[in-house]
Structure 1
């Protein structure tokens, strides 16, 4: 009887395993995010969000993440906080284990929810800079240069190009939580280097800045302009500064004023010499972009959109790639089922990830959710962005000191 019972139990285990294994292999992983395709930053969203979709589609065409398909849901929020919160709650109800947040005001509003629900958010190149410290903010992942790191890089660039004690630096910024985020590092570095720094706020929607440009060029007589603008405002600043006779080669933009859409709106001829920073490589010769064009578009008989390989599209590809790498490490190291906390651990296990030269090697840890804070400066030459530096970062000590100060460490 004991032998018979043991055999019966063993057969039951085998049958259960046979049933469970295919189910595990077919397990669909749900992720999601917000997008602005209709609001004030739609010129970013209409290119960035397709980049996420295309990378996920590429991964699924190749069999998914370790055999598991990804289901990605995008919800439009028009860059409004209330709709961003609604989107988050819907995605949570749907079972998403990893999210793409979109917009700094939305990140601040959603941070308590991410922390309570243990669902990690990716916020590359925007959001709250203090979340570099993953020990304080375990579920918020900048995983690209934060606004503090962008400010440090801009100030390093102007120093490397002749700025010295007494140099006049104008910081023109979009007057909302995102636009104001870089100010603490701008002020800290200016104080350290002895620069004369003056701040110029541009009220939303950022389509009128003639008075600010007059102040910058005629009254303050700036030597350099560092811009933290986005949406329609970068192109307006370029046209106004050019009209005032300010040299474009002395205008340095944070990452959201450095896309093709911004330059096309201003005019490539007008923007010649303009400097913008990037946190991914750009162009269609990159291996991952070539693979997307072939497998997601050409193999399906689809025409490749113009924006593929461009600045904002490439940032969407990065978002998708970081999520996939985090999911891969979560499954590999911590097993199924995938949970938000396992994805968090997966993100914190990313080491030397460069997506075949698409970005500088990124390592993420509990102490550094930013991955180093590297950027590369590009310049408008002809009708394209041309790199003018290697991957760099500036004033890292000041950035990390600010992180410790704000997080009371």
Structure 2
């Protein structure tokens, strides 16, 4: 009997110890894609995200004194695997980071039931900007409709678009089709012709048919909504067909240094809108080098660290960390839960002063979220490839959000109606 009591006590003690150990972390799983056709873009993004959290753990003992567990679940950018990863990690997660518009759309209705916030920085379903409807989803700090508006705004700043032709070269995937409602509305308003040219997943590396179509069309501009291997394929074809690179612009996922490095000087003039920028002199970079790189805790290298995507990964993790801090302060608890983080993510105020405090100087524009605004609409900069690297060639651009707010609200309502019963954020006004 004594032996049983001893064993029973040991079991209880082990359970309590395991429970305490589990509680002493902030579990922020990342649905990573370091493999598959989009790995070239996934790797630097994941490295940036991972290194920032590792830096906080090493330098600060985590966030608010609690260590961050930023475990990765590999999806290969597959929607099916992404949903499997979501189901596998949701039990103790305080956030889910789907890393694909396709995965986001599959997970979106689940979060209302599971009560886990989605952080889909700069991607996903654009009407997620409406926090009253999508109370668990955030595409902070900028959405695809913001990107479409800023690209057209930039072009219009150079010349009238009336009578012009724009070829919209896009991945034939939910991600590639996402900006079409805004681009179509802008085409009607500004008087330009928009010609969508889809690129299938199997055509990403061989786009000869699409570029033959572009040669015949002779558009004034090519706007590219590409991802992974599609970007390198398109840029290589553009150079080969002698399309003027200064007239080719991409979304922020089409501005990857490694893709342009393939063509080098020949890619000079290519542009990409971006809500992040690699500032190697920012204090955060020195902290990551000291606490993570020099400690042998990173998978990155010197070349990758200089690029747009590595620094964007840093910004994404910094946004998540800020949401966690805001929630910790509001609820006066370090080990926050998913519902508390939801509040934190919709109460971020990234002022210039706060960006400076976090050591992110020049790396992201200011933005703020609220219960009704889950995007933040930070705006961004137009970046241009100078033959060796991306440089800023515009002042801070901001999207004309008012022009598509009604469209977003209608699309959000349609989505909610189609997925009824759909819980709304009652009393959300600001």
Decide: shared fold, TM above 0.5. yes
Please name the residue that 1:244 is paired with: 241
The answer to whether structure 1 residue 271 and structure 2 residue 267 are counterparts is yes
CA drift of 1:245 comes to 2.2
Structure-to-structure mapping, 1:308-347, within 5 angstroms: 308-336=305-333, 337-347=335-345
Partner of residue 404 from structure 1, selected from 387, 404, 409: 409
Cα separation, 1, equivalents of 2:229 and 2:118 = 26
Cα separation, 2, equivalents of 1:31 and 1:301 = 18
Please name the residue that 1:15 is paired with: none
CA drift of 1:299 comes to 4.9
Cα separation, 1, equivalents of 2:121 and 2:274 = 11
Partner of residue 66 from structure 1, selected from 59, 64, 67: 64
Please name the residue that 1:86 is paired with: 84
The answer to whether structure 1 residue 352 and structure 2 residue 376 are counterparts is no
Confirm or deny: 8 A CA contact 1:154 1:394 kept in the other structure.
Answer: no
Find runs of 4+ consecutive structure 1 residues off by over 6 angstroms. Answer: 301-304
Q: Deviations over 1:305-355 (max 9, x none)?
A: 131242111121112111111111111101334111100001111112534
Gaps of 5+ in 2: 1-15, 415-430
SS in 2 for 1:389: coil
Cα separation, 2, equivalents of 1:157 and 1:307 = 28
Structure-to-structure mapping, 1:3-402, within 5 angstroms: 27-61=24-58, 62-93=60-91, 95-205=92-202, 206-218=204-216, 220-265=217-262, 267-299=263-295, 305=301, 306-336=303-333, 337-353=335-351, 354=355, 355=358, 356-357=360-361, 358-402=363-407
CA drift of 1:303 comes to 9.3
**TM-score under structure 2 normalisation?**
0.85
Cα separation, 2, equivalents of 1:200 and 1:304 = 35
- After superposing the two structures, state which structure 1 stretch, 239-248 or 120-129, moved more: 239-248
Q: For the structure 1 residues 301 and 187, does the alpha-carbon distance in structure 2 shift closer, same or farther, using more than 3 Å as the test?
A: closer
Cα separation, 2, equivalents of 1:302 and 1:335 = 32
Cα separation, 2, equivalents of 1:308 and 1:38 = 19
Confirm or deny: 8 A CA contact 1:104 1:127 kept in the other structure.
Answer: yes
Confirm or deny: 8 A CA contact 1:56 1:70 kept in the other structure.
Answer: yes
SS in 2 for 1:345: helix
Q: For the structure 1 residues 211 and 109, does the alpha-carbon distance in structure 2 shift closer, same or farther, using more than 3 Å as the test?
A: same
SS in 1 for 2:150: helix
Cα separation, 1, equivalents of 2:296 and 2:198 = 47
Q: Deviations over 1:182-225 (max 9, x none)?
A: 1111111010001111111111131222222222232x221111
Q: Deviations over 1:46-69 (max 9, x none)?
A: 111111111111111122211111
Confirm or deny: 8 A CA contact 2:25 2:68 kept in the other structure.
Answer: yes
**TM-score under structure 1 normalisation?**
0.89
Cα separation, 2, equivalents of 1:47 and 1:321 = 16
Gaps of 5+ in 1: 1-18
Cα separation, 2, equivalents of 1:294 and 1:237 = 38
Q: Deviations over 1:254-281 (max 9, x none)?
A: 111101122123x112211100121112
Q: Deviations over 1:98-127 (max 9, x none)?
A: 122111100001111112111111111111
Give me the CA root mean square deviation.
Answer: 2.2
Q: For the structure 1 residues 199 and 30, does the alpha-carbon distance in structure 2 shift closer, same or farther, using more than 3 Å as the test?
A: same
CA drift of 1:394 comes to 3.2
Q: Deviations over 1:273-305 (max 9, x none)?
A: 100121112132222122111221225598961
SS in 1 for 2:367: coil
Cα separation, 1, equivalents of 2:299 and 2:139 = 33
